[in-house]
Amino acid sequence: MDGCRMNCELLATCSALGYLEGDVYHREPDCLESVKDLIRYLRHEDETRDVRQQLGAAQILQSDLLPILVQYPQDKVLFDAVVRLMVNLTQPALLCFGKVPADATSRHHFLQVLSYLQAYKEAFASEKVFGVLSEKLYDLLQLDWEQRQEEDTLLIERILLLVRNVLHVPPDPTEEQRVDGDATVHDRVLWALHISGMDDLLKFLASAQMEQQWALHVLEIISLMFRDQSPEDLAVLGQGQAGAEHGEDTRELQSLRQRELAEKRTRALQRPYRHSRFCGSYVLQGLKAIGDRDVVFHKGLHNLKSYSHDLGKEPRRVPRRRQAAPEAEVPHRSARNVRLFLHRFCRDFLEGCYNRLMLLVKEHLVREKAQQHDETYYLWACAFFMAFNRRRGFRPELVSETVGVRAFHFIEQNLTAYYEMALMDKKEAVTWARRMHLALRAYQELLRTVQEMDRSPEPAVRDSSQVIKSNIFYLMEYRELFLTLFRKFDETKQPRSFLRDLVETAHLFLRMLERFCRGRSSLVVQSKRVRRKKQPRAPAAPQPPSTEELQELWAGLAPQLQACLQGEVPLPEDVVPFDAASETPVEEQRAEALLRIQGCLRDARVPQALRLLRSARDVWPEGDVFGPPNAGPPEETRLLQDIFFALLPRESVALGMGGLRFGDAAAPQHCPIAEHAPPEAEEPEEEEEAEEEEEETVQVSEKEFNFHDYLKRFACAPVVRALVLLLRGYPRNTARTNHCAARLLHRLARDLHMEPLLFQLSLFALFNRLLHDPAAGAHQELVALAKFILGKFFALAATNKKAFVELLFWKSPAAAREMSEGYGSLREGEGAGRSRAPPWTPQEEQLLRELYWKYKEVEGSDVAGAILAQLPAPGRTRRHLVKHLVRLGLIGSARELPRQRKGTRIVLWTQEQEEELTRLFEEFRGSDDVLGRILQHLTARRSRARVVDKLLALGLVATRAELYKKRRRKGQDPAPVPGAPAALGQDSSEDGDSEEEEEDEEEDEEPMEGPEEGAGPGLAQRLHQEGLAGPLRWLQSCLRRTAEDREEDGASHPAPLVPLSEENEDAMENRRFQGLLRRLGLRPPESEQETFWRIPAALTPRLLRRAAASITHRGPDPSGSPQGLPEPPQCPRDPDPAASPQPPDSESEEPDPSPPQPHTKRERDLDSEDEASGSSGPAVPPEDEELQPLGRRKRIRRVEEEEEED
């Protein structure tokens, strides 16, 4: 239907309603049908809400609907239809459009609908309209439940919705520019609601036992009634304190007058006593202009102090995304009669309705009977009415329903949920911030109520307060809440009022906690820590019997088998080889039948084996896998013998259980069963251990609380930055807000002795403005703080000339301590100084020069590596060494000393090296680890594969199996090897640590478009040792969850990595952790609009799962080879240049206490990591290499394979 015809139909429909003659409205005969037509038109309007706009422009509600409602309330059908139509017309604009439109056209329609709603609200400011609604609602509520029809219930709900819609309309700031105390449209609507008695009906609905279903409607209407009111102002009203209110206005006016007089006096002092005929120009010496000359000043000298280079420039425009968030509500003081009515309503509501209504609402919220975000009305009611009760003569029994540990828990849960959603939903971050502000206000009021309970004269109330505080201070979530909110405060998303309430609540919490700790010798609190719980290893696969044992066992089974074939022994009838209901494929069930037959034979259960063979032959006749259909005893005997001696795949689970999985098969070539077994695969040359699964568990413990240590958590740049931002508006802040901010800064500076933490230029600019403020006398506490901080700064600047440069940066506690105690003072202590390299002494610099000139001329040598190995001082890295060489001028840049690739330096063997290899082989021939000892004492470092090839070429060994390491059981001491060192050298550990650190830093700078094959485990292991196990598990879970989501949705979108805990946030700022993210293919933020790292859409679920598996701590070999399948000793495989050999062993799960093998450069890096992280646990002897983590040994093998490929 086109717009012109729609307008004509609307006009005809509206004309058929009736007409107004004076104060009397005459309805047409088709009035009811016309109202229904309008409802139908509204139901089918387009996205621009054209029907709603046309009805609003025609003022149908003001000229037709309201007169019909007032004059024809006895017509029940017409009254019901008109109420339905008005509920639809007064629907909030946000519900009509979903959200505030961004484009100009849709926004215009949105504002147009909003203007019509504001006109509707003004029309509802009538006592007659609310009188009719109240009377009709009263009549409906008089009906019992047996007499109340469904239409009556719907009409009650529609009347409540109509009142809600009218009160929800926001004010028009351009039309209602009134001073405090003047009646606005909202005030006139409230007064009409009060005169009609609607407020009494609302209190009845809130307290009646039979009207529980309207609890949320009533609470929503009450919250809209008190939208612009202050509970503190309403509480003191009507108690003979009108003079106090007037006095407060007088004091504010006097303060403004005092500021004006001070400014006038200052201008008078700046004006010269007589007029100077020479009003010319001055040259400001020492102040340069745009060129090289001094600035020429063309004004009087009294204006010199206000000179700035920015004079005459256009102010810099702030982008919209960086503008401060607007305030959600503008405070307004209503007319006195309206405030008196609201005061009485609050008093009656608290005494008769509050506890019951809040109980019902919370029950609806917990059972999810409410609509989405209805908990915001509950949070508002907690904050408002508890504040009113606290200021109006505190009575704890009136608010007992919302005072307790459960109330704290409910509010903290919602506050945390809003905080997480604000981080994830960036488009709606402002809306989530408003909800978070409501929860914060409720939390603040709960703390103030508990504080008032401490001052109560009743012992029972004080005891209840102590119980609540002990529970709140005991749990870690409540103590960490304010630190989290401070760290993530964003002035572009959260308004200044949120920061004000946050500072006041944090100050109140700290003061209550400090007093609670002061009266006790010790306080035990809860502490939570994420721990890794490892699943027990799967039992080792049993060692298959030898050929001699099998032949001896078969010889014993032969008579019993002949008896069964001849029918002398009955065969069981309950043996079934195939399960049709099982999900296991048929081929796997056939392989399982072979295993079951072999197991029965080796367990001496010949009748079961023979019956299983014949049953399997009937199930799988094709291919004669279990023999031909007419097989006789000789054929069955030969077939059972082949199955008995076959090498079939087995796992650590017991045979005979359903769902048995099979891996690689290595059946002999002469066995006819071999071709029906799974395809043959290569045996792993290195023994696999069972996978250890790790579960992330939260370990809850208790510790003694120290308030001083807890206060140190607030000594960080985000907290100081937020306090400075709040104090910028100190003239507009209340006295309590300025006191709370100043007290927090005083705690950081004076109590913690961290005055340098406040040495910041923006704070000093604020102090300068404060000290030159004519009305500074009203802010004596801030003035005292400013003088104290400035005095400390200038005292420090006398000894530390770099203090002026430090003003430009926000500082951490470590930087503040170095600033006061001297730079480098933490290098021998705790804190950030531990990771710094020691300073270079003149003797070390001279040694560095000598070593550089010594190794510079050696062709093909790694100069930096050779120098690093000769330096006596530990803690040096290759990066530090190269930087200092550049600083000394010995090299031009770091590119002159590139890192040489591993495995490509030494290729040919000299005669001396061959003689040395022969001597070492003869020396360590009887040791448990011949190859390891040789590699450890070999002068020229070579890979394991090249040493093995050379030993084979020299004829010293015949096969690789002779070089396998001999394993021992646990508790068995290894045989001492002459000449073996007791421990690895420290130089190699330091060298490995430094080189791996630089490798990580260099590789971090290379972006990756996909997960690098084998790149994650090495760096992940290092991050595990650095204490980042929790963030790694979080990253792994994110990758797996994203993979599952992409498989379910069938589409891929970039997924952000949102750290929700402080530990994960710190890890995301770690450079090595970021390097791991790049290696896994994750993308960093590309612009200022992005904050988090993202999982690209190009990563498939398979790649995501592979990346997650690569960072698993001590995980299985990514090759996916079966575990617990040792290589048969009698059939060694051909030498494989791409894999390192592994000896056979019957005890696959037992560690070997033999001495460690010498390692390549990468292996020494891993050794140094274990030595560095070994201080936190029990010391491990360096000889027990097999006690090292499984994942580390596998990484060593992969690195060796890469070297061999090079």
pLDDT tens track for 1156-1200: 344 443 333 434 334 333 333 333 333 333 334 444 444 444 444
Q: In whole angstroms, how far apart are CA 113 and each of 3, 105, 340, 834?
A: 18, 13, 33, 64
Alpha carbon distance 546, 543 (integer Å): 9
The 10 Å Cβ neighbour count of residue 580 is: 7
The DSSP result for 931-963, as a single string, is HHHHHHH-SS---HHHHHHHHHHHTS-SSGGGG
pLDDT score recorded for residue 154: 93
pLDDT score recorded for residue 980: 38
Q: What is the DSSP letter of 27?
A: E
Each as own residue / partner, the long-range contacts of residues 896-903 (CB below 8 Å, 24 or more positions apart, any chain) are 897/863, 897/864, 899/862, 899/864, 899/995, 899/998, 899/999, 899/1002, 900/862, 900/865, 901/1206, 902/1160, 902/1161, 902/1162, 902/1199, 902/1203, 902/1206, 903/943, 903/1160, 903/1202, 903/1203, 903/1204, 903/1206
Q: What is the mean pLDDT of each run of 10 residues along the chain (1206 residues)?
A: 60 89 88 92 89 91 92 92 94 90 90 93 92 93 87 93 94 70 85 93 92 92 91 79 59 74 71 56 80 78 70 80 79 84 93 93 89 92 94 91 93 93 89 93 95 92 93 91 92 92 96 89 81 55 70 81 79 74 73 83 82 81 75 81 75 35 33 43 38 61 89 93 94 92 94 92 93 84 94 93 92 89 62 58 86 78 81 76 85 80 56 84 83 81 80 82 66 42 36 40 41 59 81 87 82 80 82 84 74 83 84 52 36 39 37 39 38 37 39 46 46
pLDDT score recorded for residue 180: 64
pLDDT score recorded for residue 237: 81
Alpha carbon distance 1180, 941 (integer Å): 25
Query: Number of C-alpha atoms within 13 angstroms, CB side, residue 644?
Result: 27
Burial class, 23, CB count within 10 angstroms (exposed 0-12 / middle 13-18 / buried 19+): exposed
Beta carbons of 578 and 552 less than 8 angstroms apart: no
Beta carbons of 155 and 92 less than 8 angstroms apart: no
Residue 94 identity (one-letter amino acid): L
Alpha carbon distance 107, 1072 (integer Å): 47
Burial code (b: 16+ CB inside 10 Å, e: under 16) for 763-780 equals bbebbeebeebebbebbe
DSSP three-state, residue 733: coil
| Global pTM exceeds 0.75 | no
Reported in sequence order, the residue ranges of 483-551 that DSSP labels E, i.e. its strands, are 524-534
Among 334, 126, 177, residue whose Cα is nearest residue 245 = 334
Name the β-bridge partners of 26. 19
Alpha carbon distance 496, 510 (integer Å): 21
Alpha carbon distance 871, 890 (integer Å): 17
pLDDT score recorded for residue 1048: 80
pLDDT score recorded for residue 2: 42
Phi, psi torsion values for 534, nearest 5 degrees: -95, 135
pLDDT score recorded for residue 670: 38
Per DSSP, the chain holds a count of helices (H) and strands (E) of 48, 8
SS3 content of the chain, % helix, strand, coil (to 5): 55, 5, 40
Name the β-bridge partners of 284. 295
What token pair was written down for 599? 């197991």
